[in-house]
Amino acid sequence: MGQTAQVTYKGSLRTSATHLRSGNDIITDAPVDNNGKGEAFSPTDLVATALASCLITIMGIKADQMGINIEGAAADIEKIMDSNPRRIKQVKVKVTMPAHTSYEAKDKKILEAAARTCPVALSLHPDTIQTIDFIWP
């Protein structure tokens, strides 16, 4: 498959990451509580955000297979850090499903199960608490 990305240290606790296939860039900064400026996503912010992005993507794949339109689904993310050792202790994701679609109970169960088995969710350390809540219209 090849190389995925390249990260360059820019100084002042900032990095620039380039997705090699698309050329898209992401800037990261160390968070304010860890000597940084907090002017961009921190690396741990990206991990928490990746969980939400991944689970919505997997829901989208499953929804497409089921003929359900979930365009507009959105996630709010809260990352909680631990101090010793410094690591992500918990990621809270609240997924709000769009109201333009009606969902049967069976559809909700299938979509929620798909979300909880996204690759990022399965890749996080078992000690990292994942709290995923779904808000259905």
Q: How many CA atoms lie within 13 A of 2 on its CB side?
A: 5
| Helix runs in the chain, H state only | 43-66, 105-116, 119-123
pLDDT number for residue 1: 67
What are the tens digits of pLDDT across the range 61-101?
999 999 999 999 999 999 999 999 999 999 999 999 999 99
DSSP 8-state assignment for residue 32: G
* Total-model pTM: 0.93
Q: Residue ranges per domain, the chain?
A: 5-34, 43-135
8 A C-beta contact, residue 47 and residue 69? no
pLDDT number for residue 2: 86
Q: Which residues in the chain land under pLDDT 50? A: none
Q: Please, is 66 exposed, middle or buried when counting C-beta atoms within 10 Å of its C-beta (0-12, 13-18, 19+)? A: middle
Which class does domain 43-135 fall in?
alpha beta
pLDDT number for residue 21: 95
Distance of alpha carbon 4 from alpha carbon 87, whole angstroms: 24
